[in-house]
Structure 1
């Protein structure tokens, strides 16, 4: 009987590497002020897709060049969840300890953009109150993890469908 490769070991390895790449990229984006550009937020897609592909590729190679859709989705989700946890912890650390002024800068930028779009003061206050519910305390961590896991799920669905290779029946 063949030894099944450890999807948890592979996911842990690639999840940590993906988190490190995401942390480096997000830190560069935050420090340089690129976060003000809407396109910069899409840069985090690149390491996620790349490392999900690498994780599934390693799993498939360790499994005799075969991987079912479910196995690929499982490896992708584990990889994404590990990366999400580590990256979200970094985000909390960054905004609370390393640069506690960052969220204030983001808030000021949001106000500026809302004023440019013609919102009145009441509408801006309402929008800011809603935003503060999701950026205060542990909610930012929870929303970061859940959002990242959801996005990893979507990417894993696509990558697993492309990379799957079922064993022949005969």
Structure 2
């Protein structure tokens, strides 16, 4: 009797949704408390992503009798990351467009203060802010957010899959 493997897509979809929901709640807390400019706290969203990828791969292996190929792990991790990117970016769009329309202006002002603290001239700061504003429209943030999560998630999945893989023996 041939054993049916679980679907990589269904596992990734389930855990990607749960992880993305946790990530969105975490982002909301950071935005509401104005802690989103703290680089350490912002980095924790990637820890949530890594944890979600690991849990999704563990669950896949558990439902597949302990086996998961490198490619299956890579697929799970990349799909989970894509879900993170889509949900997180859509949330950011909704938040910055409807909930807090001044969010981007506040971020630009925070960036201006950081550049001043670095000792940049007013002309350099104005150039940096102008360049940032070209890429800071809510619609572009969605696109960049999704792409960033997919790329980072793919790289993370390369590593996590290599560690967690357990291929079936060839002649079983």
TM-score range, shorter chain: over 0.9
SS at match of 1:42: helix
Q: Distance in 2 between matches of 1:95 and 1:60?
A: 39
The Cα shift of 1:104 comes to 1.1
Q: Which residue of 2 aligns with 1:74?
A: 75
SS at match of 1:135: coil
Q: Which residue of 2 aligns with 1:114?
A: 115
The Cα shift of 1:36 comes to 2.5
Matches within 5 A, 1:37-116: 37-116=38-117
Residues 54-85 of structure 1, C-alpha deviation per residue, up to 9 Å, x if partnerless?
11111111212101111100111111111211
Residues 105-148 of structure 1, C-alpha deviation per residue, up to 9 Å, x if partnerless?
11111101111111111111111111112111421110010011
Q: Distance in 2 between matches of 1:53 and 1:127?
A: 38
Alignment root-mean-square deviation, CA: 1.1
Q: Distance in 2 between matches of 1:86 and 1:117?
A: 34
- On the 8 A contact 2:96/2:138 being kept in 1, the answer is no
Q: Distance in 1 between matches of 2:95 and 2:103?
A: 8
Structure 2 unaligned spans of 5+: none
Q: Which residue of 2 aligns with 1:23?
A: 24
Q: TM-score, normalised by structure 1?
A: 0.95
After TM superposition, the runs of 4+ consecutive aligned structure 1 residues lying more than 3 A away are: none
